[in-house]
Amino acid sequence: MDRFAKSKLMTFPREVLVGHGVLDDVAWLLGELNLSGPALVVTGERTRALAGERAAAILSKGGIPAELIVTASATQASVERALAAARAHKAGVILGVGGGSVIDVAKLTAFRHGAPYVSVPTSASHDGLTSPRASIKEEAGSASKEAKAPLAIVADTGVIVQAPYRTLAAGCADAISNATAVLDWKLAHRLRGEEYSSFAAVLAETSANMIMENVESIKPNLEEAVWLVVKSLIVSGVSMSVAGSSRPASGSEHMFSHTLDLLAPGRALHGEQVGVGSIMMMYLHGGDWRRIRDALAKVGAPTTAAELNVDRKTIIDALVRAHENKPDRYTILGDKGLSRDAAEDLVRATGVA
Ligand code: ZN
């Protein structure tokens, strides 16, 4: 009999602090983790005043020397600049205090600097806020890079509730899109024998269901709604930690969105695009696509091409080319992708365009 030789490393966040006013406890939390700094606080133009400066002040008051760096979009240049600052200040911990791009810069800086990183999201727009992967803008679109799982997450609902509601709705859509990502994964497992983790899949599905079963409670200016979305995104991030890849939270609907990023950059938020993608991919899977559409509509996320600010032809082009986006990730799009006719039928049948 063969000896059992399977092994796997899963890295999870160690401390997750969620709730009203928890930013005030950030110095205490670093103490719990035996991190005495110095700390580099990576923040954004807009999030600086909202939480970045406050985080640095709370750390300094708590006896942890903190330096603040304001970063712009998530590019290689931004990472290099933050890395230089981390080295200059001999940072023992990196904090990302901001939205998606800030967190991406912070986690890649931490990965390259070899220091732990703490995620302090100021919006809940996608599950990258909690996941070990980072997306970096490159000339050929955005690339997903191996980074670090956060050592801790500090999600202050009192801060996040001040972000535009649109970002929260996009976060809901990113979680909901796990429904089709998991179906794609199951398909690849059955058809190609791809390694599959039922535990990771259940977590990813739970993340989607937490939103779909509670759409009534997701409204603007409501911290309870933020709490729910943050929890769902954390569960989604954990599913990726268990899988060791983005597989449970990123399937054909993400490939569609990434292709749309290439064809029509900057039209809509990541979560908004994957949500619309998920409606269409659920249709292809023969599943309950109306449930996805209705949940998105209920939370106020886009369900049509027009709401994504993209025309019908671009949506169809993105559908036809989506399978090329990650050729080694097998999904419902198959090896050859959709034919143009099938893509036209798909957008018509689902009312996307
Ligand atoms: Zn996503």
Domain ranges of the chain: 15-160, 165-350
- Going from the Cα of 61 to the center of ligand 1, the distance in angstroms, rounded, reads 36
Q: Nearest CA to 168 among 159, 33, 331?
A: 159
139 vs 158: CA distance, rounded Å: 36
- Going from the Cα of 70 to the center of ligand 1, the distance in angstroms, rounded, reads 24
- Going from the Cα of 346 to the center of ligand 1, the distance in angstroms, rounded, reads 22
Distances (CA, A) of 238 to 40, 99, 135, 180, 219: 25, 19, 17, 18, 25
Q: Does the pLDDT at position 351 exceed 90? A: yes
- Going from the Cα of 175 to the center of ligand 1, the distance in angstroms, rounded, reads 8
- Going from the Cα of 58 to the center of ligand 1, the distance in angstroms, rounded, reads 31
Residues linked to residue 18 through DSSP beta bridges, in sequence order: 155
- The identity of residue 206, as a single letter, is T
Structure tokens at 83: 């890395």
- Going from the Cα of 129 to the center of ligand 1, the distance in angstroms, rounded, reads 10
Residues linked to residue 70 through DSSP beta bridges, in sequence order: 43
- Going from the Cα of 177 to the center of ligand 1, the distance in angstroms, rounded, reads 8
- Going from the Cα of 250 to the center of ligand 1, the distance in angstroms, rounded, reads 6
Q: Does the pLDDT at position 140 exceed 70? A: no
pLDDT of residue 9: 84
- Going from the Cα of 13 to the center of ligand 1, the distance in angstroms, rounded, reads 19
- Going from the Cα of 80 to the center of ligand 1, the distance in angstroms, rounded, reads 25
Task: Mark out the alpha helices in the chain (DSSP H runs).
Answer: 26-32, 47, 53-61, 76-88, 100-113, 157-160, 165-176, 178-192, 198-212, 223-243, 252-263, 270-285, 289-299, 312-321, 340-349
Reading phi first (left if > 0) and then psi (alpha if -120 to 50, else beta), residue 279 is in alpha
- Going from the Cα of 174 to the center of ligand 1, the distance in angstroms, rounded, reads 5
Mean pLDDT, to the nearest integer, of 44-59?
96
More confident residue, 5 or 30: 30
Band the pLDDT of 85: cuts 50, 70, 90. very high
Q: Taking the CA atoms of 343, 344, 350 and 353 in sequence, report the sign of the dihedral they define.
A: positive
Note the CATH number of domain 165-350: 1.20.1090.10
- Going from the Cα of 77 to the center of ligand 1, the distance in angstroms, rounded, reads 23
- Angle between helix 100-113 and helix 76-88 axes, rounded to 10 deg: 50
What is the CATH T-level fold of the domain 15-160, as seen in this structure?
Rossmann fold (3.40.50)
pLDDT of residue 111: 92
- Going from the Cα of 63 to the center of ligand 1, the distance in angstroms, rounded, reads 37
- Going from the Cα of 3 to the center of ligand 1, the distance in angstroms, rounded, reads 38
pLDDT in tens, 213-222: 999 999 999 9
- Going from the Cα of 273 to the center of ligand 1, the distance in angstroms, rounded, reads 9
How much of the chain exceeds pLDDT 90, in percent? 85
For residue 11, report the phi and psi dihedrals to the nearest 5 degrees.
-115, 120
Q: Does the pLDDT at position 136 exceed 80? A: no
Report the relative pairing of strands 117-121 and 93-98 from DSSP bridges: parallel
| Weakest mean pLDDT among 234-238, 273-277, 347-351 | 234-238
pLDDT in tens, 260-312: 999 999 999 999 999 999 999 999 999 999 999 999 999 999 999 999 999 99
Q: What angle do CA 287, 338, 201 make, to 5 degrees?
A: 40
- Going from the Cα of 178 to the center of ligand 1, the distance in angstroms, rounded, reads 8
Could you tell me the pTM of the whole model?
Answer: 0.94
- Going from the Cα of 38 to the center of ligand 1, the distance in angstroms, rounded, reads 32
Q: Nearest CA to 149 among 13, 8, 3?
A: 13
